[in-house]
Amino acid sequence: MILSVPLLFLMCFSIVTDERKVLPSRRSNETETSNSTQTISKSSPHLQRLVEGCREKRFTHRSCQKVFCQPWERCIKGTCECKLPYQCPKIVNEVCSSRKKQYRSYCQLKSIECIRHLEHFSHFGKCSLGKAAVSLSPANSSQGFVLFSFNQTLQGLPIRVNEKEWTMHEANVVCRQLNFHLGAEKILDTVRARNLKAAMFVNWSNSTRCRGSETRISECFLLTDIANARKSDSYEKFAAVKCYDYPTGRECTEDEFTCVNGKCIPLEDLCNGIDDCADLSDELCCKDCRKSYRCKSDVCIPDFSVCDGEDDCLAGSDESKCTGSSATNDTERGLLKSLLPKISCGISHVTRETSTLKRSKRLLGGKNALPGEFPWQIAVYEGDTLNCGGVFIGGCWILSAAHCLRPYHLSDYVVRIAKHNKRDVAVNEEILPVEKIIVHYEYNPKTYENDIALIKVVHVFKDRKCIPLSEDVQPVCIPWSVYLFRPFHTCVISGWGQAPDGKVSILRWAKVDIFGNCSDIYKSAFYDGMECAGKMDGTVDACKGDSGGPLVCSDERNETYVWGIVSWGEGCGKYGLPGVYTKVSYFFEWISSNVGRALISKYNN
């Protein structure tokens, strides 16, 4: 609630700025929707921070292959799309829009804004409190000090900041609110205000910040951050910005980076963790991050986003080694994210001592698994023969390899869950008939392209789930992004496949590394949607009988994803020839279209 406070505001500020000139064009203009790529000298040390070939993919803040979607968005075919308002969590924390319309929740309003771009956030609470607005001083200018107003008595409040607290995230939001759609050009250097006679100001504290995606500065702080001025405050620094007011189609210079939205930013601002582009395209293809934190998906985030209570890196590395609670005041966003639909997957309730997790010689004759250690492992039988492996992904669904199955011979197959010893029947083991087999519509049996299939089992339990969960039976997570795990990440394969002595009864496992140069190894035989993993010396590999089984990788949250399905290889355990797997993340949309997105969407739903 805001109290009426008399306000007298007289400000004498000076701004130190240097105007950037538009240089003559050296090529055809590039518009926001252009697919052309800016030609810049490769010798630039700043450009050398970029991952080769990534920039051409034109990733932005809406690319859910690289980033998490906002709570009012969901990931559809690699892009964060607007949710409908009814898909927001059912919470009541009223907010007021820029059109003075009351909404039940922040998410509902942001969903409307995302869809229609007509209404924006004003403030939390009743519309009768006032209406938030922002302006620059001097007025009618593209640069100046930032002033915040709320109601008739709170007009033209400056924002007190220091260099560490006010970034291009905040500057972009302010300029976006003033209808400069590409955000800010830069933060202005300011001379300390010596003649400030403001009764109040907005205090931009350490717990206050914008994430950069907001459209109104009032989304970034609380009205309780408005404070009374003191004599000592006359020597503080206040927020000032220069908005990006260049004409559409301006060509970037050789010293600038062309953002996906067409904005030009200095090359030295690449990969610094800050969204200078205002669409995040300067931070999503970085093999090296300057003065910021690098996610394993080649994304740079600001250091202040590490241990802030919200995952920014896909694998959760920015929050995995944190103690204590977040220092930000973004409680509404935290509550909203905590209420989003969640699925439980990728958790094994059986662990072993770290000392036993030493390198296996190979899966063929590798380590015996403990009962329940791989609760997603499935045995697919054809008649009385264990034909292939599979992996449980939730509901009635099993993921396996297409080359293992004949979809028109359903009665030949059964699925065994909680299987551990081929020669024994476990306590929780169940034998389930198959209702449906879906082989990928572009599977090529000659090349093993798209070697993936879904098995749906018959729901035989009237009073239980289709596949009852237990300590020995849990679904694995399905990866939505091909950037979740990268080359050299160590993962695990499991199965009942061939061993050197030919005798395998108990489920076995082995560690393997993801390779990054598979196309160099297998040349034309390696296609999109394939992954290879193993050990270069051939000491660890999958083999005959492991087909259809899982290659699983764990993220920083200790959640396990099925990264690959055993597909093919040149023999077993040959030097320099790792096993080839179907890359599951590549087929996320195909899987979700068949089993339902709600069943497998761990995030972005």
Looking at this protein, which amino acid is placed at residue 11?
M
Q: What distances in angstroms separate CA 488 from CA 50, 144, 285, 485, 588, one per listed residue?
A: 19, 49, 18, 9, 22
Q: Which helix (H) or strand (E) holds 294?
A: strand 293-294
- What does the alpha-carbon distance between residue 122 and residue 100 come to, in Å, rounded to a whole number? 8
Return the HEC string of 49-101.
HECCCCHHHCCCCCECCCCCCCCCEEEECCEEEECCHHHCCCCCCCEEECCCC
Per residue in 562-575, is it b (16+ CB within 10 Å) or e — as a string? bbbbbbbbeebbee
- Which of 61, 169, 403, 489 is catalytic? The answer is 403
- Which of 308, 451, 472, 546 is catalytic? The answer is 451
Q: Where are the beta strands (DSSP E) in 102-220?
A: 102-103, 121-124, 133-137, 143-149, 157-161, 184-187, 189-190, 200-203
Backbone phi and psi for residue 22, each to the nearest 5 degrees, phi listed first: -80, 120
CA nearest neighbour of 157 among 105, 226, 83, 260: 226
- Which of 105, 297, 547, 601 is catalytic? The answer is 547
Looking at this protein, which amino acid is placed at residue 56?
E
Torsion of CA 279, 284, 289, 295, to 10 degrees: 120
- What does the alpha-carbon distance between residue 235 and residue 232 come to, in Å, rounded to a whole number? 6
Contacts of 33-41 with C-beta under 8 Å, sequence gap 24+, read 34/262, 37/258, 38/252, 38/257, 38/258, 40/254, 40/257, 40/267, 41/254
8-state DSSP, 528: T
Contact 396, 599 (CB under 8 A): no
547 catalytic? Reply is: yes
Contact 238, 190 (CB under 8 A): yes
- What does the alpha-carbon distance between residue 107 and residue 144 come to, in Å, rounded to a whole number? 32
451 catalytic? Reply is: yes
Centroid of chain to Cα 418: 32
Looking at this protein, which amino acid is placed at residue 553?
C
8-state DSSP, 26: S
What are 565's strand-pairing partners?
Answer: 550, 582
308 catalytic? Reply is: no
Q: Taking the chain, what is the end-to-end CA distance rounded to the nearest angstrom?
A: 34
Query: What are the structure tokens assigned to 61, written together?
Result: 């803040």
Residue 556: other Cβ atoms inside 10 A? 16
Looking at this protein, which amino acid is placed at residue 69?
C
- What does the alpha-carbon distance between residue 375 and residue 74 come to, in Å, rounded to a whole number? 29
For the annotated catalytic residues, the residue numbers are 403, 451, 547
